[in-house]
């Protein structure tokens, strides 16, 4: 079966990842786009989701690639129209909106898929397997990148609900929540906010185990790193295993030896997973990465830093 899909929000992530991945997957046929500022060659495009719905084009699913702040209303519109929904990460600006979206999709009998793209890697899956049943003593997440490279002139990320540095940071947390054998919780955080913006440019986070046992669990997010980007997760276990995921989860090193280098096929795997969900009628809506981010904002101590000029 071929699923007819529309992409809503034709910005950088849609053009870089969603559209090419849809084109590669014979299970999907791109039939429409929605954007106020962008068009697609030989594909009908509409300025609003309402316009798409009113067009009566036959559509099975939509991929929502808009900023998170408008997704709840759009998801409800799409579900009301009978569409299944894929959501780019971060899914919503608050955990409350995410729970509402989950409940609404269930009531409508439609598939809702919160696509945490950084989880989709063979090295991440192998790390999860190796850590199964282990007692974690150390976690060090280092996620440092250049906001000017990845989000040029995107003002929404600096507004309330735009996540700031937690937009990439949530990618790390999506991996962590997948591979760790038990949940972790936010203990404290320092959140660095430019004095001319509303969302963070950096954050230093301390986590804890539920039972409070002694451990060293931390994350360092920063959007000011130029040159080579750093996306690493280092984990040590009580029984002596040292495991590192590098380059966003594509390289796995165990006790100093590289055991896997996987190709970057995150979005191709996302659409393969979406096809599986559509065939089965099941949803996939893990809220744990978003919950950790919301907890960082709740427990974090703000620190004003110098203004950021794009």
pTM score, whole prediction: 0.94
Residue 231 has pLDDT above 90, yes or no: yes
C-alpha–C-alpha distance, residues 292 and 90, integer Å: 12
Catalytic residue among 89, 110, 178, 246: 89
Residue 104 has pLDDT above 90, yes or no: yes
Per-residue pLDDT tens over the stretch 73-101: 999 999 999 999 999 999 999 999 999 99
Give the pLDDT of residue 153. Answer: 87
| Averaged pLDDT, 63-69 | 95
DSSP 208: E
Q: Confidence band (pLDDT; 50, 70, 90) for 37?
A: confident
Residue 310 has pLDDT above 90, yes or no: no
C-alpha–C-alpha distance, residues 307 and 310, integer Å: 10
Domains of the chain: 3-115 (3.40.50.720), 118-262+294-305 (3.30.360.10)
Other residues' Cβ atoms within 10 Å of the Cβ of residue 232: 19
Residue 132 has pLDDT above 90, yes or no: yes
Give the pLDDT of residue 56. Answer: 95
Per-residue pLDDT tens over the stretch 178-226: 999 999 999 999 999 999 999 999 999 999 999 999 999 999 999 999 9
Mention every residue, 6+ apart, whose C-beta is less than 8 A from residue 215: 136, 137, 138, 139, 208, 209
Q: What is 23-53 written as a DSSP string?
A: HH-TTEEEEEEE-SS--BTTB-EESSHHHHH
C-alpha–C-alpha distance, residues 195 and 266, integer Å: 35
Residue 38 has pLDDT above 90, yes or no: no
Residue 1 has pLDDT above 90, yes or no: no
Contact 251, 123 (CB under 8 A): yes
| Averaged pLDDT, 35-57 | 94
Give the pLDDT of residue 263. Answer: 86
C-alpha–C-alpha distance, residues 187 and 290, integer Å: 16
| Averaged pLDDT, 171-184 | 98
Give the pLDDT of residue 137. Answer: 96
| Short-list 146, 149, 154, 159, CA closest to 193 | 159
89 has catalytic annotation: yes
């Amino acid at each position: 079966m071929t699923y007819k899909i529309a992409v809503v929000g034709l910005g950088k992530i849609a053009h870089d990842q969603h559209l090419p991945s849809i084109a590669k997957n014979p299970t999907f046929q791109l039939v429409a786009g929605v954007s106020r500022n962008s068009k697609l060659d030989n594909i009908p495009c509409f300025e609003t989701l309402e316009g798409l719905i009113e067009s009566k084009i036959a559509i099975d699913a939509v991929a929502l690639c808009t900023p998170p702040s408008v997704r709840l209303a759009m998801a409800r519109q799409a579900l009301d129209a009978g569409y299944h929904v894929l959501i780019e990460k971060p899914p919503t600006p608050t955990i409350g909106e995410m729970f509402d979206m989950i409940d609404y999709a269930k009531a409508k009998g439609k598939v809702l898929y919160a696509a945490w793209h950084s989880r989709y890697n063979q090295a991440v899956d192998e790390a999860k397997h190796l850590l199964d049943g282990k007692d974690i003593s150390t976690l060090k997440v280092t996620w440092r990148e250049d906001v000017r490279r990845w989000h040029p002139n995107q003002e929404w990320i600096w507004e309330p609900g735009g996540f700031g540095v937690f937009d990439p940071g949530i990618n790390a947390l999506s991996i962590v929540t997948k591979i760790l054998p038990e949940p972790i919780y936010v203990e404290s955080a320092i959140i660095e906010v430019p004095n001319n913006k509303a969302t963070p440019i950096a954050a230093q986070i301390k986590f804890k185990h539920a039972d409070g046992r002694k451990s060293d669990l931390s994350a360092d997010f920063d959007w000011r790193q130029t040159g080579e980007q750093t996306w690493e997760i280092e984990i040590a276990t009580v029984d002596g295993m040292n495991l590192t995921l590098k380059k966003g989860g594509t390289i796995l090193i165990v006790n100093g030896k590289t055991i896997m280098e996987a190709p970057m096929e995150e979005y191709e795997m996302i659409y393969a997973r979406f096809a599986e969900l559509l065939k089965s009628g099941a949803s996939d809506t893990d809220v744990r990465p978003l919950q950790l981010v919301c907890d960082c904002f709740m427990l974090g101590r703000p620190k004003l830093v110098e203004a950021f000029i794009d």
